[in-house]
């Protein structure tokens, strides 16, 4: 569709210059003005002529009438002037001759932009806290982040994915103390991350106490935990060995979830990696007179930018999150030479990122504008916000298991003889969760409903995966046939399907520009609806007219390629049967 828009835009510019030879209007500007009408009965594209009123000093109605005669082009079926708009219908023969062969030639590479060629993107996402299990609240950063990675890779960028693990802090002092008091190697090896969580909760409860039930807070235990973390910071071998083990146990658990999602990372460098890189950045802040002392803490005053101060050092001289993030950004720029660094975190951290991004700018790093924060909304269950302290947390592994079991039950009822049932159930169950999440605009809060997510009807993962499987089923029936060249569009359903596929590259560019995977999810839904309508209304395999049958088989194959490509951009697995 981008090519078609460009062709039409060039014709409009030619006509505008006939009306005003001094016009500096460019085809790229006009192409950006072309719109998709809200009702397809109004055409496939519309040009709002009021945008040219200032240049041409005429009313939109006059402009539309003046421009319509010069729109003759192979890509244009017809055009009409309506209330100051040029409504344009794309020629079906052009689509069949140009767009369909391109899809069949490029297959899943169709629609890939080239805007990222020669550029590097670093993405920081997922980043769970070590010794704590994944819960549904981690889903956002993980799947949005990986979808953004796949989108950028599709557009030609070299990408480097970083899992910035929360693997440092006083919690490890607590865990070390708890392990020595109440744990054992055998128990932790057997219980894994769940045992670590149990130990962590136990020592936290002991430190806090429960005064109402006669259990005083244990300050001595808190002091002991701080002391053990200090020893860890100082390189104590025994504590380092325990800490390394705790990290390994956590990663083993996380990788099970990543495997289900088809996600891998290039780096697992967590907070601990940057501990020796922070002092240089703190000193730079001092040397530039950016650090101020406020009640014993070291801050960067951001009042001039309508933000609270950015805390760099606590009163005791220990570092904070902004200090680590600045050091990490400098390291990544020096080592990965990024053109863009993307951070995917909860919207609750918007101020934090705005603050340290501004500090990076004040420090004179000229790449400050290459830092991008991509926030997302919160997840609730039946309207209740997730909170560890209330126990209202659903572990991601449990949610996936529940979804997989429910899909198995549905499959037993609908297709009991399906081969590789476990593999398909996992792809559909996990895919349902991911698709449900990514259907929403990322900044919106989500009220998660498993029954809705697993439905095979409506705007769901199982529905679009079924659509992909249906294309595979149709193509299996004509496997081995020589299709030959040619073909013709004979009905609205065929044309509508091809027109949606022609928009793929444009949707990808929009998703990258807005850092919004839901653009692709909605495209997948649009394409699935169009294919299912086409499949329902048109005979494909049994069509007697050879040319029509040929076209419909090609449209089915093209749909399979484009759907498969789009699936890969949102962590959705392809299933050739459901």
Q: Determine the pLDDT at residue 389.
A: 39
Q: Which residues does 380 contact at the CB level (< 8 Å), separation at least 6?
A: 386, 445, 446, 447, 448
Q: Determine the pLDDT at residue 199.
A: 93
3-state secondary structure of 429: helix
Strands of 76-82's sheet, edge to edge?
45-48, 85-90, 76-82
Phi, psi of 502 (to 5 degrees): -65, -15
Domains in the chain (CATH in brackets) are 2-90 (3.30.1360.70), 169-248 (no CATH)
pLDDT in tens, 168-190: 888 899 999 999 999 999 999 99
Q: How would you class 213 by CB atoms within 10 Å of its CB: exposed for 0-12, middle for 13-18, buried for 19 or more?
A: exposed
Q: In angstroms, rounded to a whole number, what is the distance separating the alpha carbons of residues 42 and 38?
A: 8
Q: In angstroms, rounded to a whole number, what is the distance separating the alpha carbons of residues 458 and 454?
A: 10
Range among 281-285, 376-380, 395-399 with highest mean pLDDT value: 281-285
Overall average pLDDT of the 208-216 stretch: 78
Distance of CA 116 to the CA centre of its chain: 17
Partners of residue 374 on adjacent β-strands: 344
Q: Which phi-psi region, left, alpha or beta, contains residue 306 (left: φ > 0; alpha: ψ -120 to 50)?
A: left
pLDDT in tens, 21-61: 677 788 888 888 899 988 888 889 999 998 888 888 889 99
Q: Determine the pLDDT at residue 458.
A: 79
pLDDT averaged over every residue in the chain: 90
pTM to 2 decimals? 0.90
Partners of residue 79 on adjacent β-strands: 88
Distance of CA 192 to the CA centre of its chain: 30
Q: In angstroms, rounded to a whole number, what is the distance separating the alpha carbons of residues 508 and 568?
A: 12
Least confident of 70-84, 112-126, 521-535: 70-84
Confidence of residue 387 (pLDDT cuts 50, 70, 90): very low
Q: Determine the pLDDT at residue 391.
A: 47
Q: Determine the pLDDT at residue 115.
A: 96
CA atoms within 13 Å, Cβ hemisphere of 537:
14
Overall average pLDDT of the 250-255 stretch: 92
């Amino acid at each position: 569709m981008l090519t078609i828009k460009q062709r039409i835009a060039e014709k409009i510019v030619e006509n505008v210059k006939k009306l005003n030879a001094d016009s500096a209007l460019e085809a790229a500007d006009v192409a950006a003005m072309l719109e998709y009408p809200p009702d397809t009965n109004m055409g496939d594209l519309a040009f709002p002529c009021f945008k040219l009123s200032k240049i041409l000093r005429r009313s939109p109605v006059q402009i539309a009438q003046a421009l319509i005669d010069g729109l003759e082009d192979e890509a244009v079926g017809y055009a009409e002037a309506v209330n100051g708009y040029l409504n344009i219908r794309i020629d079906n023969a052009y689509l069949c001759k140009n767009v369909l062969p391109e899809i069949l030639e490029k297959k899943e590479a169709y629609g890939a932009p080239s805007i990222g060629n020669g550029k590097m993107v670093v993405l920081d996402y997922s980043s769970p806290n070590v010794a704590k299990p994944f819960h549904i609240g981690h889903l956002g950063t993980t799947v949005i982040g990986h979808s953004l990675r796949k989108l950028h890779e599709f557009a030609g960028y070299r990408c480097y994915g970083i899992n910035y693990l929360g693997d440092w802090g006083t919690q490890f002092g607590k865990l070390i103390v708890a392990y020595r008091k109440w744990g054992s190697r055998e128990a932790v090896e057997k219980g894994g991350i769940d045992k670590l969580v149990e130990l962590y909760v136990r020592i936290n409860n002991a430190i806090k106490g429960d005064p109402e039930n006669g259990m005083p807070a244990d300050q001595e235990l808190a002091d002991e935990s701080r002391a053990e973390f200090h020893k860890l910071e100082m390189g104590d071998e025994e504590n380092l060995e325990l800490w390394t083990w705790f990290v390994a146990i956590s990663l083993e658990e996380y990788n099970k979830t990543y495997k289900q999602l088809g996600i891998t990372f290039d780096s697992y460098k967590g907070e601990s990696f940057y501990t020796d890189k922070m002092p240089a950045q703190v000193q730079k802040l001092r040397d530039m007179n950016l650090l101020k002392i406020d009640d014993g803490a070291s801050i960067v005053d951001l009042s001039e930018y309508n933000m609270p101060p950015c805390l760099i050092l606590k009163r005791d001289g220990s570092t904070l999150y902004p200090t680590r993030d600045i050091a990490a950004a400098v390291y990544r720029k020096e080592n990965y030479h990024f053109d863009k660094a993307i951070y995917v975190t909860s919207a609750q951290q918007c101020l934090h990122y705005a603050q340290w991004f501004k500090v990076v700018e004040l420090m004179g790093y000229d790449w400050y504008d290459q830092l991008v924060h991509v926030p997302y909304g919160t997840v609730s269950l039946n309207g209740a916000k997730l909170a560890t302290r209330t126990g209202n947390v659903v572990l991601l592994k449990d949610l996936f298991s529940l979804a997989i079991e429910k899909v198995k039950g549905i499959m037993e009822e609908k297709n009991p003889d399906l081969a590789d049932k476990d593999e398909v159930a996992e792809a559909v169950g996990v895919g349902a969760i991911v698709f449900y999440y990514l259907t929403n605009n990322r900044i919106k809060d989500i009220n998660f409903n498993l029954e809705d997510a697993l439905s095979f009807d409506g705007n769901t993962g199982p529905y679009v995966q079924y659509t992909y499987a249906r294309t595979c089923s149709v193509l299996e029936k004509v496997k081995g046939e020589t299709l030959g060249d040619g073909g013709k569009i004979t009905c609205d359903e065929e044309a509508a399907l091809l027109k949606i596929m022609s928009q793929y590259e444009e949707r990808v560019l929009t998703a990258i520009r807005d850092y919004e995977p839901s653009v692709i999810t909605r495209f997948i839904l649009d394409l699935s609806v169009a294919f299912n309508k086409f499949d329902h209304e048109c005979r494909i395999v049994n069509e007697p007219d050879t040319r029509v049958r040929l076209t419909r088989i090609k449209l089915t194959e093209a749909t399979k390629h484009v759907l498969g490509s789009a699936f890969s951009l949102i962590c959705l697995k392809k299933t050739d049967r459901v």
